[in-house]
Amino acid sequence: MLKEYLIPYITQDEISDMIDGLAREIESDYQGREVILICPLKGSTLFASDLMRKLDLPQKIDFVQLTSASLEGEPKDSTIKILKDISTNIAGKDVLIVEEIIDEGRTLSFLKNRLLASGPRSLKIVTLLDKPARRAINIRPDYIGRTIEDRFVVGYGMDDGEMGRNYKEIYFLKN
């Protein structure tokens, strides 16, 4: 039912090509070293699973789930909580945070600082979509599939009220 409110934006083939390019960049930077992929739930699961299949590197994956809640009288997303933390020891390891989209960057900044506190050898961010026009925190991904304009997108893990995550392509919401 949601699809009637959507405009096609990025096709399956374009998504696949972006992930191929990201995988080649990451492989070049890590050349045979093991990487630990950290997948924030829920939106990044499709991207993380496709990326890990295309990465020809030794790898592990772990999941984290964060939530942001506004407190009365405080800025939006002022309180970020960990609902599920990673269970992998990342001390001395090469870590990649795998995000489907980065907009404001508040939750991602919180996650990055949380992971840095565990002492990884390196910590980089890979995102399928980057929306810098919405950035509220100065955080930059290391690997970007595509930079997009400030529009609400649905599909390929991204949702509207938990709907549309399963779509194979990415759509804009009609105005």
Domains of the chain: which residue ranges?
2-173
Q: Which position among 13, 17, 85, 103 bears the catalytic label?
A: 103
pLDDT digits (tens, 9 = 90+) for 19-75: 999 999 999 999 999 999 999 999 999 999 999 999 999 999 999 999 986 545 455
Neighbours of 101 (CB within 10 A): 21
No. of helices (H) and no. of strands (E), the chain: 3, 9
Mean pLDDT value of segment 139-159? 96
pLDDT at 70: 56
CB 95 within 8 A of CB 125: no
- pTM listed for this prediction: 0.92
Catalytic status, residue 103 = yes
Domain at 2-173, CATH from 3.40.720.10, 3.40.1550.10, 3.40.50.700, 3.40.50.2020 = 3.40.50.2020
Beta bridge partners of 68: 80
pLDDT at 71: 47
Instruction: Taking each helix axis as running N to C, give the angle between helix 45-54 and helix 12-30, from 0 to 180 degrees, rounded to the nearest 10.
Output: 60
Instruction: Please give the mean pLDDT across all residues of the chain.
Output: 93
3-state secondary structure of 101: strand
Name the phi and psi angles at 78, rounded to 5.
-75, -25
